[in-house]
Amino acid sequence: MEVNLGIWAGTFLLGAVLGIFVRPRHVGILTVVFEIGAIAGLVFFGAMLRGDLTMLFGIVAMAVPFLGALATSGAALSFAVRRARTRDKR
C-alpha cells in the first residue's frame, strides 16, 4: 500500500498557516463542522440509496478526523511560536 506523505505534510502546513491567523480551537471547530457535514451526507445519500455518493461521504467521514488532527496540531504549533515571539517583544 502506497502512502502519499504530501497529503499529510500539506495538511499539517495548512494548519500551521491557519494558526498564524486563528486560534487552534477554531481549526478544531472547523474540523467538527466538516465531520458533521460528512456524516449528514453519508446518512442522507445512504437513505436515498445512492451507492457512489454514500461511499464518497463514508470515505470523507473516515478521513476528516485524521486530517483535522493534523491541521489542529499544525495550528497549535504555529500559534505557540507566534505567542512566544510576541512575549519576547514585550
Return the HEC string of 43-63. HHHHHCCCHHHHHHHHHHHHH
Whether 44 maps to a domain, the answer reads yes
> Each residue's pLDDT tens digit in the chain (90 positions)?
566 778 888 899 999 999 999 999 999 999 999 999 999 999 999 999 888 899 999 999 999 999 999 999 999 999 999 888 877 666
pLDDT of residue 27: 92
Return d(Cα 68, Cα 58) in angstroms, integer: 16
Whether 72 maps to a domain, the answer reads yes
pLDDT of residue 87: 74
pLDDT of residue 89: 67
CA 9, 62, 66, 68 torsion-angle sign:
positive
pLDDT of residue 43: 94
Whether 45 maps to a domain, the answer reads yes
Considering its fold, how many domains does the chain have in total? Answer: 1
As given in the structure block, the three cell numbers for residue 73 are 496540531
Q: Are 75 and 12 in contact (CB under 8 A)?
A: no
Whether 8 maps to a domain, the answer reads no
Beta strand ranges found along the chain (DSSP E) = none
